[in-house]
Structure 1
Amino acid sequence: MAAQHRRGGISLPERSSASKPHSNILARITSSPIVSRGKQAASDAAFFSKKLLRSTGKAAWIAGTTFLILFVPLIIEMDREQQFNELELQQASLLGAPPTAPARS
């Protein structure tokens, strides 16, 4: 209908052509190299973060289980020996023996 001109009338642009300039600008922006580089950088950062988080979790699991298996029994045994030495000193003082300094190794 826009092709038919009426004499003395005002022709208005069609609605579909009014929305095209906005979509053209939007299409240009989304297809620009800067936006595609930004998307690629964000994707790479997410991939790296996910991999880092996964490997950090694995390392934390290994460190935690190693600590529990190796060092906790050692700490318990050292505490037990400390209590045993204190008990010997207490018994020796009750029996009247002169207090001796515990042997350090």
Structure 2
Amino acid sequence: MSSQSRKGGVTLPERPSRSKDGQDGIISRISSSVSQSPILHRGKRAADDAAYVAKRLLKSTGKAAWIAGTTFLILVVPLIIEMDREQQLNELEMQQASLLGAPPMSAHK
């Protein structure tokens, strides 16, 4: 083995430079000038800010939905069940009254 200890893997040979007519130099200059552009930095910062705001909005919307859902289950669902039960009881009383021959009761008590 060689004196350098490496853990597995194959090393790839370095690419030969493709400097036909200086194209690599132009591309590298353009990419470095674009990557150092203040417009690019402002765009990245705006995208980061938008992502942060969207994340916070989704988080707070989720919390609000949880609160609304649990409140509905605790307060409104029992009320709906009780109103349905009362309506069924009223219908049963009306059926019994009609079977006994009593005059129908008005809907308003």
Q: TM-score per shorter chain, which class?
A: 0.7 to 0.9
What residue is the counterpart of 1:65 in the other structure? 70
Please state how far the C-alpha of 1:38 moved relative to its aligned partner.
0.6
Letter in 2 for 1:82: Q
Letter in 2 for 1:63: A
The structure-2 alpha-carbon separation of the partners of 1:62 and 1:94, relative to structure 1 and needing over 3 Å to count, comes to: same
Extract unaligned runs of 5+ from structure 2.
1-17
The answer to whether the 8 A contact 2:98-2:104 is kept is: yes
SS of equivalent residue, structure 2 residue 55: helix
Deviation >6 Å, runs of 4+:
none
Letter in 1 for 2:94: L
SS of equivalent residue, structure 1 residue 77: helix
Please state how far the C-alpha of 1:16 moved relative to its aligned partner.
9.0
Q: In percent, how many aligned pairs have the same letter?
A: 64
What residue is the counterpart of 1:49 in the other structure? 54
The more displaced of 27-36 and 16-25 is 16-25
By relative contact order (CA 8 Å, sep 6+), the higher-ranking structure is 1
TM-score (norm 2): 0.78
SS of equivalent residue, structure 1 residue 72: helix
SS of equivalent residue, structure 2 residue 107: coil
What residue is the counterpart of 1:15 in the other structure? 19
SS of equivalent residue, structure 1 residue 15: coil
What residue is the counterpart of 1:86 in the other structure? 91
Question: 2: CA distance between counterparts of 1:75 and 1:65?
Answer: 15
Q: Compare CA radii of gyration and give the structure with the larger one.
A: 1
The answer to whether the 8 A contact 2:19-2:25 is kept is: no
1:100 to 2:105 alignment:
yes
